[in-house]
Amino acid sequence: MHQPDLSADDQQVVPTLITDQRKLAGDEGVWFFICADITLFGVLFGLFMVERYKAVALFEQSRLALDPLLGALNTLILLSSSWLVALAVHSARAGQREAVGRYLVLSMLVGAGFAVTKVFEYWHKIAAGITLLTNDFFMFYFALTGLHFLHFLVGLVVLGVCWFKSRHEAIDARYVVWIESSGCYWHMVDLLWIVLFPMLYLLHAS
């Protein structure tokens, strides 16, 4: 089996796509998916707000069972993980294989903190007898955060694939498009949480 030279392209500036005037980071198909996905979430956010409008007292009372500190912590975790992925993309464009690998590992490690906090939060709610069926607020809470969590898990796998490819394949223009696209997906996970956190945890009804 052919083993690519892992050291030859280190520190080498990647040609063509990276140095020209291409403006969109990542693949257009991935951007279509991102736009469709965030549109779907936008509709779900709207549905949540309509249901909240119909039952403000219930939503307010239920919201108080959530811990804003955990929500804020998860925001900081996802923002930091996103930043590390952006640094990995920057390093890939410069052909810096070691830096790409390092930033991707760090981004996955930091990002994994989101899973720890979220699982703790779910466990805490379920232990207190709060589930998807408790009321409309918690139906939305579990559905929206659950759907977001699935996106998060897919994102972690995608970053893992990026890391694997960075160890076994050339850091070339093709890889850069791959990591840019993966990075944009990961940033989308971040974007959605930036809305979910204040909408679920912080909409004060007085």
What is the dihedral sign for C-alpha 197, 74, 90, 183? negative
Stretch that binds another protein, among 21-29, 118-126, 147-155, 161-169 (CB under 8 A): 21-29
What is the distance between the alpha carbons of residues 181 and 197, in angstroms, rounded to a whole number? 25
What is the distance between the alpha carbons of residues 162 and 157, in angstroms, rounded to a whole number? 9
What is the distance between the alpha carbons of residues 103 and 26, in angstroms, rounded to a whole number? 18
Stretch that binds another protein, among 4-12, 108-116, 165-173, 177-185 (CB under 8 A): 177-185
Nearest CA to 122 out of 99, 148, 98 is that of: 148
Q: Do 1 and 168 form a contact (C-beta atoms < 8 A)? A: no
Stretch that binds another protein, among 12-20, 141-149, 159-167, 184-192 (CB under 8 A): 184-192
- The helix/strand/coil state of 17 is helix
Shortest distance in whole angstroms from residue 2 CB to another protein: 33
Which residues in 71-100 contact another protein (CB under 8 A)?
Answer: 72, 75-76, 79-80, 82-83, 85-87, 90
Choose between 107 and 166: whose C-beta lies nearer to another protein.
Answer: 107
Q: Is residue 125 part of the contact set for another protein (CB under 8 A)?
A: no
Choose between 90 and 124: whose C-beta lies nearer to another protein.
Answer: 90
Q: Tokens standing for 191?
A: 């974007």
Q: Is residue 191 part of the contact set for another protein (CB under 8 A)?
A: yes
Q: Do 157 and 151 form a contact (C-beta atoms < 8 A)? A: no
Sequence-distant (≥ 6) Cβ neighbours of residue 33 within 8 angstroms: 185
Draw the binding track, 36-75, toward another protein (x: CB under 8 A; -: no contact): --xx--x--xx--xx-xx--x-----------xx--x--x
Task: Please give the residue ranges that form the binding site for another protein (CB under 8 A).
Answer: 23-25, 31, 35, 38-39, 42, 45-46, 49-50, 52-53, 56, 68-69, 72, 75-76, 79-80, 82-83, 85-87, 90, 180, 183-184, 187-188, 190-191, 194-195, 197-199, 201-206
